[in-house]
Amino acid sequence: MSAWATCVVRDSFIRIKVGRKHQIPSRDIATTGEFPVVDQGQELIAGYCDDQEKLIDFDAPLVIFGDHTRCFKYVDFPFVLGADGTKVLVPNKDIYDPKFYYFALVALEIPSRGYNRHFKVLKERSLPRPPLPEQKKIAHVLSTVQRAIEVQERIIQTTTELKKTLMHKLFTEGLRNEPQKQTEIGLIPESWDVKQLGEIARIERGKFSYRPRNESRFYGGAYPFVQTGDVSNCDGYVRSYTQTLNEEGLAISKMFPAGTILITIAANIGFTGILQFDSACPDSLIGVSPLKCIETVFLNYYLMTQQPQMDRLAPKGTQKNINIQFLKPWPVPLPTVEEQKGIAEAFSATDQKISFATAKRDELQALFRTLLHDLMTAKIRVHVSDFPPVETAGR
C-alpha cells in the first residue's frame, strides 16, 4: 500500500465563480463558432458558442466532471460550459498538480447509478496525495502515453476520411483517368459496365431462425455461427463469431464457405463483411458469392458504400428489412478484373494503415490503464529514467 497521504475529494478543490451565466443549454450549442463548449459527453468539445460573456477564461487548468456520465475532462483553454450535469473542479494547487489531479480522478472507480447524479458519491472518495515533485513526474509519464494515444487516434480519423474520399473518387473515376459517362449509378469511366448484383454473384439466404428464442438445444457445438452483430460491427472482414451451433443446429442452418460476402438484412440493414472461415448463418443474413467476372474484395468495398442507400430504400413494415429480391437488381459498376484488383489494393492499403494505428492505439490504451493503476497506488514509483520513450509517431 502507498505511504502517501490522502485527501477526500470534497477537500481537494476550491470554489470558483462559475455560475449559470457561463452555461449554455444543449439546444443552443452550435456546430461552428468562436468558443468551444465543454459538456459532460464523451467528446472533449461538444460544439461551439459565440457568446463571449459566457466564456470561462480564468482558474485554468481545471477538471470537468459529468454528473450523469462520470466522465472527466482536463481543460486548459477558454471555454463555455454545457449546462446539463457538469461540475467544475479547480484543484487546490497548494496540494495538487492539476494534471496529476485529473489523472487521480480518472483512476477512481465510481459505480454507475444510471442517469442519476454521481457527484455526491465522488465527493466522498479519497485521492492519493504524493509530494508535488512526484505528482509532476507521474503526470509527465501518463501525459506522454496519452499524447501517443491521441496521435494514433488522429491517424485513424484522417485515414478513415481519406478512405471515404478515395472510395468516391475511384468508384466514379477509376484508375486510368479516362472519360466518364452518365449511368443509373452516376458518373463512371466509359469502359466500365453496370451490372445487376444477381448477374455477377450467387445470392443465398441463411436458414437458421431464432424462434423460439429460448431454444438452447441447438447451441454450444463445434460450428461457428455468425450473426447480424458479427457483421454490422466488423471492419469489412468477419473474423470472429459470438455463438456456435451443434449438429442439430447446423441441420437447420445454412453453411457459407470462407470468402462469402455476408449482408445484414434486418435491424441493421446493408452492412457487409467477407467471411474468413466457414460458418453457419441465420436467416437475418444473406450470402453473396461473386462469379469470376468480379473480385470479392472489390465488390465488398463497393457494397460498403451502398449501406446508407440500402437502409434508406428498405421496405418499411412491422420491421424494416430487405431480401434477395431487393438485392438481385442492385446496380454494381464493373471495370475489368485487372482494374478491380488495383482499386481493391488501394482501399486495402488504407485499411492496413487504419488497422495498424488501431492496434497501436489499443496497446497504448492498455499500457495507460496499467500505468494509471500502478502509479496511483504506488505499486511502482516514478523516476522518469525508469520509463523508455513512448512512440508517438505514426508508421
pLDDT above 80: residue 388: no
What's the confidence (pLDDT) of residue 211? 56
Distance, in Å, from the CA atom of 89 to the CA atom of 74, rounded to the nearest integer, reads: 10
Distances (CA, A) of 126 to 76, 101, 300: 24, 12, 52
Distance, in Å, from the CA atom of 277 to the CA atom of 226, rounded to the nearest integer, reads: 10
Angle of helix 337-376 versus helix 98-106 axis, rounded to 10: 100
pLDDT above 80: residue 268: yes
What's the confidence (pLDDT) of residue 216? 79
What's the confidence (pLDDT) of residue 395? 45
Tell me the pLDDT tens digit for each residue of 8-67.
999 999 988 787 888 999 899 999 999 999 999 999 999 999 999 999 998 889 999 999
Interval 102-123 mean pLDDT: 92
* Amino acid found at 216: S
Measured over the CA atoms of residue 210, residue 213, residue 218 and residue 223, the dihedral's sign is positive
**Domains in the chain and their CATH numbers?**
5-129 (3.90.220.20), 130-160+170-175+335-395 (1.10.287.1120), 193-334 (3.90.220.20)
pLDDT above 70: residue 214: no
What is the percent of the chain where pLDDT is above 90?
81
Interval 256-263 mean pLDDT: 98
Cell numbers found for residue 394: 505514426
pLDDT above 70: residue 389: no
Q: What is the pTM of this model?
A: 0.84
Distances (CA, A) of 323 to 119, 147, 244, 313, 327: 49, 46, 24, 12, 6
Tell me the pLDDT tens digit for each residue of 310-332.
999 998 877 889 999 999 999 99
Distances (CA, A) of 261 to 41, 54, 99, 238, 302: 36, 53, 48, 9, 12
Average pLDDT along the chain: 92
pLDDT above 50: residue 384: no
Distance, in Å, from the CA atom of 339 to the CA atom of 176, rounded to the nearest integer, reads: 9
What's the confidence (pLDDT) of residue 386? 52
What's the confidence (pLDDT) of residue 21? 86
Cell numbers found for residue 300: 465488398
Interval 177-198 mean pLDDT: 98
pLDDT above 80: residue 283: yes
Interval 340-344 mean pLDDT: 98
Residue of 178, 127, 171, 219 whose CA lies nearest to 332:
171
Interval 74-85 mean pLDDT: 92
Query: Which residues, 6 or more positions from 168, have their beta carbon under 8 angstroms from its beta carbon?
Result: 305
Interval 171-179 mean pLDDT: 97
Q: pLDDT-based confidence at 213, cuts 50/70/90?
A: low
Which of 265-274, 331-340, 376-385 comes out lowest in average pLDDT? 376-385
H or E segment to which residue 240 belongs: none
What's the confidence (pLDDT) of residue 277? 98
What's the confidence (pLDDT) of residue 13? 95
Cβ burial of 359 (10 Å; 0-12, 13-18, 19+) is exposed
Interval 104-117 mean pLDDT: 90
